[in-house]
Structure 1
Amino acid sequence: MIRAAATAAMAIIPGGSFRLGSNDHYPEERPACRVEVASFAIDVGPVTNADFAAFVAATGWVTTAERLQPAGSAVFAMTSGPVDLARPDQWWRFVEGAAWNHPEGPVSTVEDREDHPVVHVSLEDAQAYAGWAGKRLPTEIEWEVAARGGLDGATYAWGHTFAPEGGVMANVWRGAFPWWSEAPAPGPSAVGTYPANGYGLFDMIGNVWEWTADRFDQQGRCGCSVAASGETRQTLKGGSWLCAGEYCARYRPAARIGLTPESSTAHIGFRCARDLPAALDPLP
């Protein structure tokens, strides 16, 4: 397992022609298409609690969740039994005092979770960290190219089989969502717990959803869009520890969701990228 300090490392993703999207899954992933992408660098793992704590200590940054009135964020709670999966309000609840350093509420801490991905961060929080670190958020296309690990057109970041030879390849929900889990306490896992992909990147699939630099267009990768309610949405990629086959099988590189930029929850984090010339001078 890599330690928190190691997550500052970046990997160079070589440019080229890549097949992105999927015609076989959710409508917002269509159409599959081929794109040209320039080389870039991306963080080996998502930003951790230790990384974010260093940022807060250096800048005094106060996150969106901490500035709300009342302050707080969305926390997951398992249900007592099977429920209507069209009703996410049955397993999500707003908890006053929940924030990046108090992930389950005011009495919780990130002590002994320094190498876990930071959560309860909005788009603004992620952008502020990236700017402080001399980086930026990856575009959606860059993120998907990196997640595929060099496997052009593969369903998962590791190939076409979800569990090759029975192996657990990512931190996703294993059990019956949202009331029973094989994990005694489902939640984010330490960065590096699961195998890296072909580019040496950890947690591109599962663990936490990750913010990207692009607006969400439900029709594909054609630019900015607004939700039916009039709210602008931002694209997140990768799935999370809450993705389950019977509910949200979005633990694939092509998968994508759109959330309002101020959203913060117990399963949203991010990683950073750099244009290649800056990344080469030198890699951290």
Structure 2
Amino acid sequence: MMKRYLPLLLLLAACQQRVPPAAEQVGKAACCVVPSRFATTADRKDKDPENMIWVTGGQFMMGTDEKEAYDQERPAHPVKVDGFWIDKTEVTNEAFKAFVDATKYVTVAERKPTWEEISKQLPPGTPKPDDALLIPGSMVFVAPDHPVSTEDISNWWHWVAGASWQHPEGPGSNLDGRWKHPVVQIAWEDANAYAKWAGKRLPTEAEWEYAARGGQAEKRYAWGNEFKPGQKYMANTFQGHFPDKNSGEDGFKGTAPVASFPANAYGLYDMTGNVWEWTADWYDASLYKKASLRTAEVDPKGPASTYDPEDRYAIKRVTKGGSYLCANDYCVNYRPSARRGTAFDSGASHIGFRCVKDKTNDSNKTILVQNK
């Protein structure tokens, strides 16, 4: 009986959001963004530092009023953000290796978990598992070989001892041929540590969504209202029958090398699909319902604590963007407004990140900002 608790906790990090009713019609509703200016580097002398794009600040409608969208995305509300630099792509295995080589950093998935930490995200009274079960590892997507009930995520998510960023599917797997793919099996702490080392920080949820929209007003996707404009795939998502049959029509059945799909209007790649991306914000499922619908909040930094009524004990940060496992028959999260909470100490096969950087008053310099 006790063997289930550690895997159960980590399963909470998996994609649990089912496809909303009439999902195919969601794109007909407004998901409005009204930036004061489009992203540009034209007014900057220090263009594209460290493979980043300058996004000029402005006001936009964050979230959505689509009736068929997930509840935590509604309602749309006005937000203002200042300008910021953002990585063109998700952080790659190659880049993360440089960080590890320089700092000897050990990721959360590579450390032996402690019951003291695990118990904070389980109901009071949960019995302690045998110490032999407290071993390093992470969550790995394993496609079943036949159709299964999507009511039970353990049908495709498996806790694998030894899974980590270096061994994404567990012992025996490696990064050969995947150095340009986004790094995965990354917990929030790992992403934050990398950002500090790089002299950057993780984006707020508002910054991330503003950048992902690419200046598109009242569009469901980052590129418009059609998922496949001109029958062209614009992002790495799941095609076929989830979770047992990924047809790979977009060219990939797992992660793709970064920048394999078209950039959005701001020149940013993979803001939709490929891997979920960590943000700096705590996750509150009801946050948008508390927002003002008239006065724009300026540079919101998220709630002071985490709240998810369906997962009361988990401690979660916001992840955005969807992944290669988002499918139109299960998890329609490849939209800029989509958001979910992910347990802060859990990585998985489909979770990565990118970083942002602030500016100084000197237009030729940027400051090194670290989360504390």
Category of TM-score, reference length = shorter chain:
over 0.9
- Which string of whole-angstrom CA distances, capped at 9 and with x for unpartnered residues, describes residues 163-198 of structure 1? 111110000001110011112872110001100000
Contact in 1 for aligned 2:277/2:352 (Cα 8 Å): yes
Asked if 1:257 corresponds to 2:299, the answer is no
Distance 1:82 1:209 in 2: 24
Offset of 1:225 from its aligned partner?
2.6
**Number of residue pairs the alignment of both structures matches:** 278
2:307 to 192, 201, 226: 226
- What does residue range 211-250 of structure 1 map to in structure 2 within 5 Å? 211-221=278-288, 223=303, 224-227=305-308, 228-250=311-333
Runs of 4+ in 1 over 6 A off after TM superposition: none
Q: Classify the secondary structure of the residue corresponding to 1:11.
A: strand
CA contact (8 A) 2:277 2:321 kept: yes
| Structure 2 CA distance for partners of 1:235 and 1:282, relative to 1, 3 Å | closer
Which of the numbers 141, 155, 166 marks the counterpart of 2:231? 166
1-side partners of 2:363 and 2:94: how far apart? 22
RMSD over equivalenced CA pairs, Å: 1.8
Unpaired runs of at least 5, structure 1 = 1-5
Mapped partners of 1:87, 1:150: distance in 2:
38
Unaligned runs of 5+ in 2: 1-47, 113-133, 291-302, 368-372
Partner Cα distance (2:252, 2:136) in 1:
25
Any conservation in 2 of the 1:7–1:48 contact (CA below 8 Å)? no
Q: How far apart in 1 are the matches of 2:64 and 2:149? A: 27
Partners in 1 of 2:259 and 2:363 — Cα distance?
Answer: 22
Give 1:197's aligned amino acid.
Answer: N
Match of 1:178 in 2: 243
Query: Once the 2 structures are TM-superposed, how far is the Cα of residue 84 of structure 1 from its aligned partner?
Result: 1.2
**Maintained 8 Å contact 1:29/1:220:** no
Structure 2 residue identity aligned to 1:226: Y
- Is this contact kept in 1: 2:236–2:252, CA < 8 A? no
| 1:208 corresponds to 2:275 | yes
SS at match of 2:324: coil
Q: Which residue pairs with 1:15 in the alignment?
A: 57
Partner of 2:8: none
1:107 and 2:163 are equivalent in the alignment = no
1:194 & 1:7 partners in 2: Cα distance? 22
Does the alignment pair 1:96 with 2:140?
Answer: no
Partners of 1:86 and 1:280 in 2: CA distance: 53
SS at match of 2:207: helix
Q: Deviations over 1:31-81 (max 9, x none)?
A: 111211111111000000000000000000000000034111111111122
Residue 352 of structure 2 is aligned with which of 242, 247, 269? 269
Residue type of the alignment partner of 2:270:
D
Tell me what 1:51 maps to.
95
**3-state SS of the aligned residue for 2:280?**
strand
Quick one: structure 1 residues 105 and 220, their matched pair in 2 at CA, closer, same or farther if it must change by over 3 Å?
Answer: same
| Structure showing greater Rg | 2
